Amino acid sequence: MLRPIRRALLSVSDKTGLVEFARELTTAFGVELVATGGTKKVLADAGLAVKDVSELTGFPEILDGRVKTLHPALYAGLLARRDKPEHLASLAEHKLVEIDLVVCNLYPFEQTVAKPDVTEAQAIENIDIGGPCMVRAAAKNFDAVAILTAPEQYDDCLLELKNHDGQLPRDYRKELAFAAFQRVTEYDAAIAEYFLNQLPDAEEPDDAESGGAADEWDEEIDPPFDLRQVLRYGENPHQQAAFYAEPDLDRPCVATAEQLHGKELSYNNILDLDSALNLAREFAGPAAVVVKHNNPCGVAAAATLAEAFQKAWHGDPLSAFGGIIAFNRPVDADTASALMDPKAKRFVECVVAPGYDPHALDALRKWKENVRLLRTGELVGGPQGLDYRRVDGGLLVQTRDTGADNPHAWKTVTKRKPTEAEFHALHFAWLVCKHVKSNAIVLASGTQVVGVGAGQMSRVVSVDIAAKKAGDKSKGSVLASDAFFPFPDNVELAAAAGVTAIIQPGGSVKDADSIAACDTHGIAMLFTGVRHFRH
């Protein structure tokens, strides 16, 4: 169900892209702006018409801003169910207004406590109270309210508004709610960890799912799995294989996907489908992923699924031939038509998506007799549970590589900061890079992957491969590396290819050399502080 966006409440700590986003809301879609103290000042100074939140609540900010949004008048506008006449009548009775969009990122607690000289008082003052409450309220009522918690979401939101005549679809609002609850969870976890570290003789919680010290893990492990399918063979025809699934599994994933068409899945198909689907679900907007030999060779996000597919395929059409395709939206007629384009002569092993338009499904079934079509249902959340890997005589177990990234904490280490467009491209490339075999290098132009270097023993070789894959498309691209640069030769090679910005974890003894090389070439570089090896 579409919901019009008529009134937005803005209260942000990170004001990146705020003015541009708010201006587009008002000029293109006629949205009324309401904001809190510092946010209101920035918008008003930019010449935008904006109301103070006190005009909604009838109560001023007090206690040095500690109390400004915690008021029934505001939360009634957030939590009122639009499908309940009695809720709307209550709003009218008390002269309260509905709020359709909340834009709120939280006080920079993680960045504050990461400083070596931070005091307890500084840490405490950077614990946001009203922000998480507001975020949770908006996310709870996603049926009527949209919640944005990061500047990286602004462009997608504007695209959705443009594509739906100033309205936002329910599926998109639900995705935003998931991201909001995930952000609040990460925020509260960081606060809890800070306090835990301040306590004398504190013990870590006993929860193997959270990762941590070895003594948190069970002495014995016996993970139960049910036989789902006997496969024709394993990685190679001389190997026998079967597919097992967790018992009572009901979340959307490859193990629960329904095969709608095509020949029997193979061992390698299932591995590639899992990789492709887990990458596709990283993105809030329409996205397409092409995987070959368990590495993404084409990835793109766009305003429509058909456009995302075209950009993903053309990122590396040579490698895409015979690949696995994953979508994070139901396949519509336009996307199916693009996939089946007779001029392209595409060969595809499998397609996995949340669903298929009936006409699209019918056409795809007629297109190729053997192409495997899988339906997962709506993609909610990401991979869950522990990650298992068998070795001879043992079992490696780890928590999944999720929830570690916080773009608000990324640090610009070069003289030049990335532009807003570069930052969005870097964020996109970083999400892709964590799904590429190490050593991993990803080149992206906007929200399109144009070159991938994967699985090399030397990182500089991965850079070289990615640049050669991209060709002329490397000019003006950005680069993501899953781990630090051991030497500045990686930067020199990237600069020669035309890369303008780089994102990497940092942490090398030669970081200063890489930073200096970036400054020499005018390249902006971000350190994430997080590594994403995928062996």
Sort strands 441-445 and 448-453 into parallel, antiparallel or unpaired: antiparallel
Domain-embedded: residue 533: no
Sign of the Cα torsion 120, 121, 124, 125 reads negative
| Count of helices and strands (H, E) across the chain | 19, 23
For residues 188 and 292, membership in a common domain is answered with no
Peptide bond into 439 cis (omega under 30): yes
Which H or E element spans position 379?
Answer: none
Same domain, 287 and 362: yes
Among all chains, which residue has been given the structure tokens 């996603």? Answer: 142
Same domain, 365 and 482: no
Distance CA 338, CA 398 (A): 39
d(CA 456, CA 453): 7
Both 425 and 369 in a single domain?
A: no
Q: Edge-to-edge, what's the strand order for the sheet holding 101-103? A: 51-52, 32-35, 7-10, 101-103, 146-148
In a domain, 381, yes or no: no
Task: Looking at the structure, tell me whether residues 278 and 344 fall in a common domain.
Answer: yes
Contacts of 490 (CB under 8 A, 6+ apart): 459, 460, 463, 481, 514
Same domain flag for 284 and 363: yes
What's the CATH number where 194 sits?
3.40.50.1380
Looking at the structure, tell me whether residues 10 and 157 fall in a common domain: yes
Q: Is 40 a residue of the active site?
A: no
Residue 97's nearest CA partner among 120, 79, 117, 84 is 79
Q: Which of 15, 51, 71, 140 is catalytic?
A: 140
Q: Are residues 12 and 56 in the same domain?
A: yes
Does residue 295 sit within a domain?
A: yes
Which residue out of 71, 174, 293, 314 is catalytically annotated? 293
Phi, psi of 523 (to 5 degrees): -90, 135
* Residue 87 located in a structural domain: yes
Region class of 369: left (phi > 0), else alpha (psi between -120 and 50), else beta:
alpha
Of the candidates 299, 294, 276, the residue with the CA atom closest to the CA atom of residue 428? 299
Shared domain for 154 and 258, answered yes or no, is no
Phi, psi (deg, nearest 5) at residue 504 = -160, 165
Task: Check which CATH number belongs to the domain holding 336 and give it.
Answer: 3.40.140.20
Do 98 and 167 lie in a common domain? yes
Provide the residue-wise pLDDT of the chain in tens; the chain has 535 residues: 888 888 999 999 888 889 999 999 999 999 999 988 789 899 999 999 998 887 777 666 655 555 556 667 777 878 888 777 776 777 677 777 888 999 998 888 778 877 777 788 888 888 878 888 889 899 989 888 999 988 889 988 999 999 998 989 988 888 898 888 888 888 887 788 777 776 655 444 444 334 444 446 777 777 788 888 899 899 999 999 999 998 888 889 999 999 999 999 999 999 999 999 999 999 988 999 999 999 999 999 999 999 999 999 999 999 999 999 999 999 999 999 999 999 999 999 999 999 999 999 999 999 999 999 999 998 877 788 888 888 989 988 888 888 888 888 899 999 999 999 999 999 999 999 999 999 999 999 999 999 999 999 999 999 999 999 999 999 999 999 999 999 999 999 999 999 999 999 999 898 999 999 999 999 999 999 999 998 8
In-domain check, residue 17: yes
- From 198, 221, 250, give the residue that closes a domain: 198
Q: Please report whether residue 401 resides in a domain.
A: no
φ, ψ for residue 460, nearest 5 deg: -65, -30
Whether 314 is a known active-site residue: answer no
Residues 293 and 418 in one domain: no
Could you say which of 145, 176, 198 is where a domain stops? 198
On whether the pTM is more than 0.75, the answer is no
Distance, first Cα to last Cα, the chain: 42
> Is 148 inside a domain boundary?
yes
Considering the domain architecture, whether residues 147 and 242 belong to the same structural domain is answered as: no
Count of structural domains, the chain: 3
Closest Cα to residue 351, out of 323, 392, 391? Answer: 323
Strands 3-4, 51-52: pairing is unpaired
Rounded-to-integer distance, Cα 16 and Cα 18, Å: 5
Instruction: Spell out the residues 6+ positions from residue 106 whose beta carbon is closer than 8 angstroms to its own.
Output: 13, 128, 131, 132, 135, 149, 183, 187
Q: Is residue 493 part of a domain?
A: yes
For residue 330, what are the domain limits?
233-375
Distance CA 353, CA 87 (A): 37
